[in-house]
Amino acid sequence: MKLLKDKILNQGKVVDKHILKVDSFLNHQLDIKFLNEIGKEFKEIFKDTHINKILTIEASGIAIACIAAQYFNVPVVFAKKTESKNLDKETYESEVYSFTKGKNYKIRVSKKYIEKNDNILVLDDFLANGRAVLGLKDIVEQAEANLVGVGIVIEKGFQEGGTVLRNMGINLKSLAIIDSMEENRVKFR
Ligand code: G4P
Ligand code: NA
Ligand code: NA
């Protein structure tokens, strides 16, 4: 997606060779006009796929999921990372290892909000090692729902997530794939 690539080139900052900071438009400040174009693009890509729910993880996935959901006309469910008194007792849970944080964390979704045979599109901002998506896939499977697609805004192609997910047969579409990053030199696939 050209608009996204230009935005990354103009506003992205490479930190420590493998982290791309995009918090002027995607991860902290949100550029809504731009995110709308992202939402439309996901709809275009998945227009022939029957989807009745979008699933993501808090926090930064929520913005993208909500904007895209308006074009799909479906509800958004986001997995929670923190234990909370507001969360129902009956939940699907999965353990996710974060390389960025160097530790495991749990994600949870109330059993009320994923139904058997739901056709679920998972959306997220970044794909690195793919652990977050695998955790969501695990929850979808526990609920006996169908993971019909995964849409990612920025895939870091030099990390293993994309290969792992595609080799599993997951219908993964990324709007931009970065093959390499060096100080202010980002190369796209
Ligand atoms: P993985 O799920 O693909 O295995 O990724 P990993 O554990 O490495 O990523 C952990 C968090 O860091 C995720 O955010 C992910 O979106 C984010 N992340 C990974 N690589 C980058 C990057 O290059 N740039 C930025 N800006 N973020 C990256 P999260 O835990 O979901 O946190 P948040 O959504 O609450 O921010
Ligand atoms: Na993030
Ligand atoms: Na995220």
128-132 CB contacts, 8 Å cutoff, 24+ apart: 128/99, 128/100, 128/156, 128/159, 128/161, 129/99, 129/159, 129/160, 129/161, 129/164, 130/160, 130/161, 130/162, 130/164, 130/165, 131/96, 131/97, 131/98, 131/99, 131/161, 132/57, 132/96, 132/98, 132/107
Q: Average of pLDDT values for 150-174?
A: 98
103: domain CATH number is: 3.40.50.2020
Ligand 1 center from residue 101 Cα (angstroms) = 9
pLDDT of residue 79: 98
Greater pLDDT, 85 or 143: 143
Tell me if 156 sits within 8 A of 163, measured CB to CB. Answer: no
What pLDDT, on a 0 to 100 scale, did the predictor assign at position 184? 75
Mean pLDDT of 180-184: 87
pLDDT for position 148: 98
What value does the mean pLDDT take over residues 149-157?
98
2-41 pLDDT, tens digit per residue, is 999 999 999 999 998 899 999 999 999 999 999 999 999 9
In this prediction, residue 39 carries a pLDDT of 98
pLDDT band at residue 86 using 50, 70 and 90 as cut-offs: confident
- Report CA 146 to chain centroid distance, whole Å: 16
Cα separation, 22 vs 62, in Å, equals 16
Residue whose CA lies nearest to ligand 1 atom number 13: 126
Annotated binding-site residue? 149? no
Arithmetic mean of pLDDT, 98-125: 95
ipTM above threshold 0.90: yes
pTM of this prediction? 0.96
pLDDT of residue 101: 84
The size of the chain, in residues, is 189
Pocket residues for ligand 1 (CB within 6 Å)? 19-22, 27, 57, 59-61, 98-100, 125-132, 156, 161
Overall average pLDDT of the 42-67 stretch? 98
Q: What is the mean pLDDT of the chain?
A: 96
**What's the 61 CA to ligand 3 centre distance in angstroms?**
5
Alpha-helical runs (H) found in the chain: 2-11, 32-45, 60-72, 131-142, 161-167
Instruction: Indicate the residue type of 160.
Output: E
Cα distance between residue 189 and residue 186, in whole Å: 10
Please state the atom number of ligand 1 nearest to the C-alpha of residue 125: 16
**For residue 30, how many other CB atoms are within 10 A of its CB?**
15
142: containing domain: 2-188
User: How many structural domains is the chain composed of?
Assistant: 1
Average pLDDT rounded to a whole number, residues 69-82:
97
Structure tokens at 22: 């995009």
Q: Kindly state the helix (H) or strand (E) to which residue 54 belongs, with its residue range.
A: strand 53-57
Residue 187 pLDDT > 80: yes
Residue 183 has pLDDT above 90, yes or no: no
Radius of gyration of the chain from its Cα atoms, rounded to whole angstroms: 16
